[in-house]
Every structure is written in C-alpha cells, then in structure tokens.
Structure 1
C-alpha cells in the first residue's frame, strides 16, 4: 500500500564509499614479470614448436590466451612468436605475398582460466587458440586449440628428499604426478626414485581424458603390455603430487587412492598463491559438500548456472539437468553470468540453490560470501534422490562428464500441457480410489529438512502447480485454458491463494515469488493502486554494432 512507503528507497552511493573500489584486487597487479633471459623464455613458452604448429594448421588469426600470472610476459611472447612466424614468409619467387598472421592477446577470460576462452577468441574471429599455462584439458566445442603448458624448472634433489620423508618404506606403492607445467620431470624423478630402492613407484603421462581414475592422466605400468595399462586398480596406491593441485582434484582423488601427499613448488615464477592445501582436511571438505547436498534436497527452485560456453556437450548437459529437476517436481531456471561472485547470484533471491555447468575444475565453487549453496551436477544427482536411497560413499566429481546423455529438447509449454492433462486424469482417479476422497498428494509422507528438522511443504512446486491447474480447469480469474494452457499467453496470471502464477500458460514459481514475496516494487507513487493503467508499448531503441547503429524503424527501411 502507498501508506506503507514512508520514504523513497536509497539508490545513491553513501558518501563514505564514493572513493572505494569494491572490485577485488586482480592478481595481475601482483604478478611481476620475472627477469629471465630471452633464450630461457624461448624454451619456457616453446616458441618454435608453437610457430610450427600454427603454420601446419594454416591459421592466420591466432588468439593467445594467458592466465593472469603470465600476462606480464604476453607482449614478449607476441613479439617473439611473430618474428618466428615471419621466418620464410617471403620465400618462393613468383608466389603471391602470403597474408600476414595476426596475434591477439586474450587477457580477461570470460570464465575460468583453465578452460579455452572460445567466446573471446571468436570476438577476434580467430582461426584457433594457443592456451598457455595449466589447463583442465576439457574438449572444446568450436575452435581448435594448441596447449602450451610451458616448461618450468624443478629441483630434483629437493623433490626426492621430500619423497623420502613422506615414504620411509621402500615397498610403498606410489603414483607420481605433477601439474602439466612440470610434466617433463615425471619420468626422470621416477627413475631416480627407483635407483634409490623404491620398487613400486609408477609414473603418469598426460592424456585428454577428464573421466579417468586420475583426471587427464594415464598411469604407466613398467611391466604391463600396452593393452593392459588401464586394467589396474589404484585403491592401494598413494599419490605424490608435485606442485599445488586444485581443490577439485583433491576431492576427486580422495576416494580413489589410499592417500595424497603434496610437494609445493615455490620456485615457480608463475604461482599467484602460496597457500598449500592440506590433504588431511579433504574428509572435512567432503562433509561440507554433503551438507550442501542436503540443503538442495528440499529446494523448490534450482538455478542452472552456466560457467562455460566452450566445454564440449555443455548444451546437452543443461538439457539433462532440466529434465532431472523437472522429474523431481522442482522448477529450474538457466542463468549465464560470466565470472561468478556473490553480488551476481544475490540478484536471484527466488532461487534456493545452484548447480554449475562447467569443467571438472570450475565446477567447484567456494561458498564464501554466497547466500545460497552452489553444487556440481554429480551432487545434484544425490540431492534429487530420496532420503531412503541417498547414500554418501565419499565419491565426488566436479565436471559435467558422467551426466546421463540428454534426450532431445522439447517445447516446455507442450510438455507441461501434456503433464497437466495426464495429472488431471490421475488426480481424478486418486480422489475416487483413496478412501475418504483424499488425493495422493495429500496422503504423501511429509518432507523434513534434515538440517533443521522443520517441515517443508513447497519442495516440489511444479507437481502442486500442475494439479492445481488441472483441478481448477477454466475457473481461473477470467482466463480460459486450452489444452491445459492459458489463452492469455502474454500475461502473468494471479491465481487463487496457494496456487502458482502462470507465464505463457506455464506454472512459474519465480513469477509467484516476485508477486508475493518481493518487497521492492519499483519507483513511482501508485503502489498497489487498483486502477493502474496498462503501460505503453516499449519503443524500440538502437540495435546493431557500434560502427553502424540503426534506430527505431530505420532498420525496416530498404
């Protein structure tokens, strides 16, 4: 009501915060270009190999993607790579001058730095991407990519000394693994350890297979034929990881190997953080992840948070998640926000929790500062199970790999209309069959939040909404239903108390939330007035690209 609004809302920035920048400090400002000679940088960034592969692929427009810690080296890489590509450019008299290749630096990645930023590369109309530094190696969906992990130095004596402190028994079964930037050192270190008497030490090599027992790695068994390399279990093996691994890798391997040990590499000039995770804290992290699963079990509206537009099959994964959520009687909304932060997600107050569609590393989102839980597709599968069938085994996965292949995307309105007709028949039968005329919905076992013990009555809003529409039939406030859908398809319909609003004839818990729970209704003086007039038609503004805008009806002229 108008009388309840005593003063207009405060929309200005308080004076004490005028000169404060709320944006977190970027690691670029902290990264300083290491003082390294050119010949060493040629080896680090593999300039010669990169130029050879670019020429073999026939690329003329190349996007170079750097993580924040390597950006200080980006101008030098562009200059060195350009000079290498120009070698032999004018060879062959009588031939037409070849098109000069153009290099573009991708600085601010759209999503995670471990993924190939195809979106930014397509803005430059690039033929391919050269990705530098550590990578999740998730397959791309549109552009080809060359991965340059870079070559980093490693102190072998320090590594073997640390290994001997961790494993005093020479017969311990150990898998040696490094970050991709140190991969060339795995074989020499394993050979050195075998010379010291460690007979059960095995090495790993890089393969593009995120779904492997060790993501993107294959264990090299010395005495096994090539065809039997993957037939060994790692449950009895310990993992010795050189360099600081991502938390998602620790959680993934916690149930697949006996234990994890970490050797940090402080000598790396491209490390933006000095924090070393404690593998012994992994069970506690998994328990917290399970707590988030329990919170999502009673959620009514789940947001599908798209954290990649590059990983292959991300569209089919979104379709699968929508189907799984709908089958559980819950509502889903798909949101794309770019890089995640608490402020962006807080704009969607009606969403009870989020599931991330991303690579196996970016699927793990830290909960610090977030109001609602953010989980992975694997965790969502557990959350949608019943309390009787949900079993927590300690297994964990952060990516979209392993999600059941989606069925073809169907029209949501048609699906809901069919479900409404089906549920109408079922509901009528239920009312007749159940003793006392009580519907099956009312006879269902009550659902409780396992964290608080409170009764939850709205965890499956779509089932209630469909039955409500079926029962009410055409008795909606002046709105006729055709095949279970509203004839007024362009309006948000306010229904009876306890029912859910409809948008285009489809039940919408989000619209109901905005109608019934949002306290902020916008600027103006006619709050809640019954004689509100319909708004005028929105005028069409500018469209097109910056170099050639069209305004209003001009774009219709020939």
Structure 2
C-alpha cells in the first residue's frame, strides 16, 4: 500500500475520493422559486439592467444550478446567465476572480455567506433555507425554558444566515413577552462593489431612531395594547405601567445604541454592554461564525439551538483556545521570514491589509513574501521550507486555521499585528475581521515612532531576541542581484529569494551537462501519475 504523509497525498485515496455534491437531492420546481428567490433575483437584474450575471453556488447546491439558471433566463430575456462551477476560495467568499472571466456586472451568491463587502463586482446574497427543517414552536419552547424570567432577563437573539427565513416568525412572538430581548440583524452589504445598487443607508444613523421595529431592548411599545386608549401623562418621575403590571422606566428606541460585531448589528441599551446580555443562537453549534463570536466575547453565556441536535448551553473552553492562539503570537515574534497568504480577492480591503502586513513586518525587521493561493493545503505550504510563519488574509469565516496539520504555523492579521506592533495589545476580546485593525478601523493602533531596541525573552525557543545586534531583514532594496560589466550575476541581493535558493543543499533537478555518461534510452513509466503501472529501476 502506498504510504501517506501530512505533506503529500496517498495515491489510493485520490482514486477513491468522492465529490461531496454527489448524491445531493435535487430541489423540486415548485420549491426552486421560493428557496432561491427567483422573483427577487429577476427583479434585481431588471431594475439594474444587468447584462451578464454570474451565479455562485456551494458544492452542496450545485445540483440545482442549471434549474436556477434556466428560470432566471426565462424571467430575464436581456441577461446572460453564467454558472461558476468551482470557486477560487471558500464557498462563503464572493468569487470575483471567476466572475471577471465573463466580465459579469452582477454576482448572485447562494447559500452560506461571509457577508463581506465585495471589492469590485456588485453582489446579491440569497441565503436559501437550512438543510434540516426548523421547528419554530420547539425553538420558542426551548427559549422560554432557558429564560423563565421575562421581565428582567437581558437576551440577545442571534442566528445563522441560512436560518434567516424563520427569524421573523420566531421573534415576532418573543419580543412581546420579553422586555429586554434584542434581535441581532445581519449586516448584509447594501452598497456592493462600490455601486449604489440598493438603498444607501450609510447616513441614516441608528435605524431604530426613526422607526420602532420592536427589536430594541426595553422598548415599551412591546407592552402596549393598541386596542386600549392612550395612557394618561406620566408623573414627574416618568414611570409607566406595562400590561404585565411591571413598572418600567420609559425607554424610547432613540436611547439604544447599535453594537456591531462580526455578522450582526445588535441594538443595546445605551448604558449596557454586550457582556450584560445572555446569547441565544439559532443555528449549527460548530459553525465558524458562532465560534468567532464566542472567541471575541468569552464572558457571554451562550445558549444554542441546533436544528439537528436541539438545545444546549455552550461550554467552550475559550481560555484554552486563546492560550493556543497566543502561542502562535509568540512564534510570530520569533519568525524572521514571513509568508503573507492572500486567501481572498472578493473582500474589500484585502489589498490594504496586504500592504499593512508588509508595513508592520518591515517595522519589526521581518522579511515578507507574498503568496496568492486559493484553497490552502498543507502540501502547498510545505514546499517553502524557509518560511517561518504564514499570515492568512481571508474572510473571517476562513481566517482561523488549526496549524497542527501544517508544517509552519498560520496566524491571522490580528495575531501578526500583536507580534509586530508593540502598541497593539493582546486582549480577551479576539478580533477576527482584519478590517478592524487597518488604518481607519475601530481597533487600529498606530505604530511607535521608532523601533524599540529592548531585548526580550522568547517563550517558545528560550532564546533572547531583539536588541541592536539582532539581524534586520527589512531591507529597502528591491534589487534581486547586482551585475558586473559583462552582465553576469555577481552578487545576489540581500535577503533575496535567489540568495535563499543558492544556500539550499538541494536545488531541484540539475542538468549536469558533460558530467553524465551517454547511454541508450530506456522505456520509462506508464499510466496515471497517481498510480504508475511499473517503476523504473535506478
């Protein structure tokens, strides 16, 4: 049997590999219109006069791709519909690279989404429905059992993007029972690709200021009965009596503030923080969006209703996870050669993040190399043995990787910023979105004026690092090699890739012209590369 390793694939496994899309059940024609929102998509195409529309599906929904494209073509005579069968990066990312091959002026993204702003091509999100049926009555029953005290308990209701279609039905009855229930709203991009394709709400401020949606905590209109006459004017203490008989301070929606975290915008009381609330999450408990939220808010108690497994209280060991991530920060401090992995081209700000990573690496005296990769594998990264650590610029849904499978650690931009910027502190509130640490972001911290010469102790290697004698890899020269008058290569540029290659003991296949004896040609291997019929004898 062929041997296998973490850094190369087993030949027999490749031959037996099956596609995850095989065996998927095709959606009926009646459900196609509802699940894939054909009417909304066709209206959007017509309203914005889109001529070339690219459809992006995850592998699990590709079985319905042709049916969706057929219905859209029938509804939009002037538009050409294209199906992107393979994504350049993760299925949550907007694949602008493939869309540009046909010069598309709109991407319709189906299924689970990272809700990130597209960089150049406008995008429309269609979440569809969760693969398992959701029992709304059981969700409400579990919610009431988890929070029996309705008058004082502060709760934030969050949900997975593919559960969005049932949130309205569930929250409509719960907000009338719980005074301090806050409904988190998805941060769906409203200005995709820099074009005003939808109503611009950038200057609208707090969306609850002009219209009460009953999603803000403490909103007294939840307790009002429209069939009853208007209550009399309250006294000087401004106290109102609700239907439940509870005295409550008069809280107008304008007194709420919008708290933005990851996927969600959550209305909170102006004098409260997210840590004062308990979290109820509707969706799969192992999804990355929930894990990111828990990592960023370790003090919050999280209740989860998984449509497949039911209700439970999350008991994640956040402190242990943060300790593991901080260990990677220490390794990033020791690294001299850094590989910056561009894991997305569909998230706005990725180029700014790339430049910022180079800037802070240069400040810390590190040498950087840029790699543009689609789907990362340990085999790809193991080809570059000289790299000490990698920084992954990607959608927040895909930015945190388990480095145990990789030859070198893979860190996030936030972790690398902590390692290189002395002013950036490591806190218990982990940052998953790289745009928050960029200049102009809410968590951005300026670099010091000068690089410190203080000697520090490495917690990983046990060696001393820093100081005036520490090797500086941040050369400002872009010269690869210096040439003499005969234009022959004389000296490689400092810390250049050519210099690194010349120091390798094995540099690949060498021609050895004149040093190899002449011999007759022999029959070589035959068959597929993953499984040759016979091997040559050497």
Say yes or no: TM over 0.5.
Answer: yes
- Find the residue that maps to 1:28 and give its secondary structure: coil
Aligned to 2:460: 451
Q: Distance in 1 between matches of 2:113 and 2:305?
A: 19
Q: Distance in 2 between matches of 1:311 and 1:459?
A: 39
Aligned to 2:308: 266
Aligned to 2:211: none
- Find the residue that maps to 1:49 and give its secondary structure: helix
Q: Distance in 1 between matches of 2:18 and 2:421?
A: 41
Aligned to 2:97: 119
Q: Distance in 1 between matches of 2:207 and 2:352?
A: 27
Distance 1:206 1:466, change over 3 A: closer
Distance 1:203 1:248, change over 3 A: closer
CA displacement at 1:265 relative to structure 2 = 2.0
Q: Distance in 1 between matches of 2:67 and 2:313?
A: 33
The one of 206, 224, 228 equivalent to 2:186 is: 206
Aligned to 2:435: 401
The one of 275, 289, 293 equivalent to 2:325 is: 289
Aligned to 2:114: 136
Q: Distance in 2 between matches of 1:349 and 1:84?
A: 53
- Find the residue that maps to 1:105 and give its secondary structure: strand
Deviations 1:466-521 (A, max 9, x none): 69x9xxxxxxxxxxxx9xx9565987765xxxxxxx43xxx2164444333x2312
- Find the residue that maps to 2:53 and give its secondary structure: strand
Matched, 1:157 2:137: yes
Contact 2:482 2:489 in 1 (8 A): no
Deviations 1:302-322 (A, max 9, x none): 111101112112112211111
Matched, 1:27 2:13: no
Normalization by structure 2: what TM-score? 0.69
Distance 1:158 1:319, change over 3 A: same
Q: Distance in 1 between matches of 2:489 and 2:368?
A: 18
Deviations 1:226-266 (A, max 9, x none): 58442452121121111126335423444436222221123
Deviations 1:201-248 (A, max 9, x none): 2212223479xxxxxx99931524358442452121121111126335
CA displacement at 1:326 relative to structure 2 = 0.2
Question: Matches of residues 98-497 of structure 1 in structure 2 within 5 Å?
Answer: 100-152=78-130, 154-170=134-150, 171-194=152-175, 197-208=177-188, 220-222=215-217, 223=219, 224-226=252-254, 228-230=256-258, 231=270, 233-244=273-284, 246-256=287-297, 258-266=300-308, 279-386=315-422, 391-405=425-439, 446-455=455-464, 463=472, 486=482
CA displacement at 1:464 relative to structure 2 = 6.6
- Find the residue that maps to 1:113 and give its secondary structure: coil
Q: Distance in 2 between matches of 1:277 and 1:22?
A: 42
Q: Distance in 1 between matches of 2:483 and 2:207?
A: 58
CA displacement at 1:200 relative to structure 2 = 2.1
Q: Distance in 1 between matches of 2:67 and 2:255?
A: 44
Distance 1:452 1:76, change over 3 A: same
- Find the residue that maps to 1:235 and give its secondary structure: helix
Q: Distance in 2 between matches of 1:237 and 1:24?
A: 46
Distance 1:186 1:19, change over 3 A: closer
Contact 2:341 2:372 in 1 (8 A): yes
Distance 1:226 1:143, change over 3 A: farther
- Find the residue that maps to 1:137 and give its secondary structure: coil
Distance 1:452 1:248, change over 3 A: farther
Deviations 1:30-57 (A, max 9, x none): x5125x5322221111111111111111
Q: Distance in 1 between matches of 2:359 and 2:106?
A: 34
Distance 1:142 1:487, change over 3 A: same
Structure 1 stretch displaced more, 330-339 or 37-46: 37-46
- Find the residue that maps to 1:365 and give its secondary structure: coil
Q: Distance in 1 between matches of 2:134 and 2:352?
A: 41
Q: Distance in 2 between matches of 1:74 and 1:301?
A: 43
- Find the residue that maps to 2:276 and give its secondary structure: coil
Q: Distance in 2 between matches of 1:282 and 1:218?
A: 33
Q: Distance in 2 between matches of 1:261 and 1:64?
A: 35
CA displacement at 1:127 relative to structure 2 = 1.9
Structure with greater helix share of residues: 1
Distance 1:251 1:37, change over 3 A: closer
Normalization by structure 1: what TM-score? 0.67
The one of 504, 510, 514 equivalent to 1:524 is: 510
CA displacement at 1:325 relative to structure 2 = 0.4
CA displacement at 1:356 relative to structure 2 = 1.3
- Find the residue that maps to 2:435 and give its secondary structure: coil
Contact 1:61 1:125 in 2 (8 A): yes
CA displacement at 1:324 relative to structure 2 = 0.7
Contact 2:350 2:393 in 1 (8 A): yes
Distance 1:59 1:115, change over 3 A: same
- Find the residue that maps to 2:361 and give its secondary structure: helix
Distance 1:172 1:521, change over 3 A: same
Contact 1:331 1:462 in 2 (8 A): no
Contact 1:243 1:265 in 2 (8 A): yes
Deviations 1:321-365 (A, max 9, x none): 111100111111111021111111111111111111122222222
Q: Distance in 1 between matches of 2:71 and 2:401?
A: 37
